[in-house]
Amino acid sequence: MPRLTKKMGRIGRQAAALLLAAALAACSRPLPPPEATGELQVGTRNSPATYYIARNGEAAGFEHDLLEAFARSQNWKLEWTEKPNPDALFSLLKAQRIHLAAAALPQAVVKDHHLIAGPVLFETPVHVVYRTGDAAPRTVADLVGRKVALIVGSGHSPMLMRLKRKYPKLSWAALENVWPDELLDQLQAGKYDAVIVNGMDFDPMRTFYPDLAVAFDLPDVQKIVWALPTRSSLVLRNALARFIEQANRDGTIRRTYERYFGHVKRLDNSDILGIMQLRPERLPTLRRYFQEAQTLTGIDWRLLAAIGYQESKWDRFATSPTGVRGLMMLTAETADRMGITDRLNARQSIVGGARYLALLKDALPERISEPDRTWLALAAYNQGQGHLEDARRIAQARGGNPDSWADVKQALPYLGRGSYARVMKYGYARGAEALIFAENIRNYYDILLRLEPDYNPLLNLGAGEDDALPPG
């Protein structure tokens, strides 16, 4: 009996070993191609340029949106795998555990890893970023003697090696297995004097780092691509090439880029620091009014607060030379239309401004989706619905999409040109001002989304308010 037990134990161990070996073999097998399974497996990293979870709980990001469009064009399901560092992403590719990687990857870096580089999505400048409290380096020569850092495998080392021929004393630290936000954190903490980072990575995060700025750009640019395993499916590679070619031709890439990056360079560092400094001083007493306005209109209170900051720096006594007054800078005509009796009353101004923006959004054709609907309504808030419609007509006449903010923003400045103003229904307008207005608000909104919590009206029912708004 003991001998039988021992034998059975040995058989059990052998069976377990066989099962483990089978499991490991299954894990080591490459993924079948997406055309065989109808499922595209993508590796990524968390960043505004690539993939993140938006405030509505849904995935978003420049590369995310493009790949969603690509997957739809092929009738494939899309599955995402996030990785915390570059090496983990490249390991998945080399083991063929994913079909492609989308992580703002430079073409040169993909080729250095002996992977296949997909079609070029766009080109990004290479920034030299520094702390604004320090003396700004103006040229590569100014980096000599300073502590400079870059990321191993970013493609920036070869650029600096070429520059080192002219500046032999140029040196830098090469950090392994980090993403750009970690590099920027170390610069902000004072560990380095300057860092080398792609514009696609730094520009969307400028509002996160108001103490950092671009000193200058290196002479080279980098081409951003998706990376595929060396034995990737020809069907997939050809489908990607056709999709990117079509997306360039029909404006899909340009419009997607505009959605995430079109506004990010509008503010300078003083603008970013300005709202961050005034926020703890002025916003606390106004927050409940913005939140009440959200309850009444459904418009995110932080967007309304961004409008209030752009209009008046949250000053309820603000008055312009043209007679526009109050925290939301409403005209007398708009105030009357919204039932406001005192434009200098903060609550009345905020609620009135919110109702006016909601009215402008409702006046747009139902086919216009978000976020374009909101950005177009912001331009109308500044210039009026009639002038916005003129700009939409100009956009269409110039071959653009009148329902796309990316196209209408290019048309807005033409409202101030005599040759256009003469033939437009509503005549001359300072369209460029409406463009700046909307883009500034987009940036301020980004800042407040990061710093201020969401508001759920259902959790705040019955909150009392003083300073009541008059009927109507």
State the amino acid at position 323 in one-letter form: G
Displacement of CA 93 from its chain's centroid (Å):
26
CA pair distance 175, 177, nearest whole angstrom: 7
The predicted structure's pLDDT at residue 179? 85
Predicted local distance difference test score (pLDDT) of residue 427: 84
Contact between residue 150 and residue 172 where contact means Cβ atoms under 8 Å apart: yes
Whether the CB-CB separation of 326 and 349 falls below 8 Å is answered with: yes
How many other β-carbons are positioned within 10 Å of the β-carbon of residue 63? 25
What is the predicted pLDDT for the residue at 23? 44
Give per-residue pLDDT as tens, 155-178.
899 999 999 999 999 999 999 888
Catalytic residue among 63, 311, 389, 439: 311
Query: What is the tens place of the pLDDT at every residue in 71-94?
Result: 999 999 999 999 878 888 999 999
User: How many CB atoms within 10 Å of residue 469?
Assistant: 20
- pLDDT tens sequence for the chain (472 residues): 344 444 445 555 555 545 544 444 445 578 999 999 999 999 998 887 888 887 667 888 899 999 999 999 999 999 999 987 888 899 999 999 999 999 989 999 999 999 999 999 989 999 999 999 999 999 999 999 999 999 988 889 999 999 999 999 999 999 988 888 899 999 999 999 999 999 988 988 888 898 999 999 999 999 999 999 999 999 999 999 999 999 999 889 988 888 888 888 888 888 999 999 999 999 999 999 999 999 999 999 999 999 999 999 999 999 988 789 999 999 999 999 999 999 999 999 999 999 999 999 999 999 999 999 999 999 999 999 999 999 999 999 999 999 999 999 999 999 988 777 677 888 888 889 999 999 999 999 999 998 999 998 777 654 444 444 443 3
Pick from 120, 118, 122: nearest CA to 239: 118
pLDDT at 1: 39
pLDDT tens column, 253-302: 988 888 888 888 888 888 999 999 999 999 999 999 999 999 999 999 99
pLDDT at position 20 is 47
Backbone angles phi, psi at 196, to 5 degrees: -105, 125
pLDDT confidence of residue 458 = 77
Asked about 245 being catalytic, the answer comes back as: no
Exposure of 61 by Cβ count < 10 A (0-12 exposed, 13-18 middle, 19+ buried)? buried
How much is the pTM?
0.78
Q: What is the pLDDT of residue 25?
A: 43
Secondary structure of the chain in the HEC alphabet?
Answer: CHHHHHHHHHHHHHHHHHHHHHHHHHHHCCCCCHHHHCEEEEEECEECCCEEECCCCCEECHHHHHHHHHHHHHCCEEEEEECCCHHHHHHHHHCCCCCEEEEEEEHHHHHHCCCEECCCCEEEEEEEEEECCCCCCCCHHHHCCCCEEEECCCCHHHHHHHHHCCCCCCCCEEECCCCHHHHHHHHHCCCCCEEEEEHHHHHHHHHHCCCEEEEEEEEEEEEEEEEECCCCCHHHHHHHHHHHHHHHHHCHHHHHHHHHHCCCCCCCHHHHHHHHHHHHHHHHHHHHHHHHHHHHHCCCHHHHHHHHHHHHCCCCCCECCCCCECCCCECHHHHHHCCCCCCCCHHHHHHHHHHHHHHHHHHCCCCCCCCHHHHHHHHHHHHCHHHHHHHHHHHHHCCCCCCCHHHHHHHHHHHHCHHHHCCCCCCCCCHHHHHHHHHHHHHHHHHHHHHCCCCCHHHHCCCCCCCCCCCC
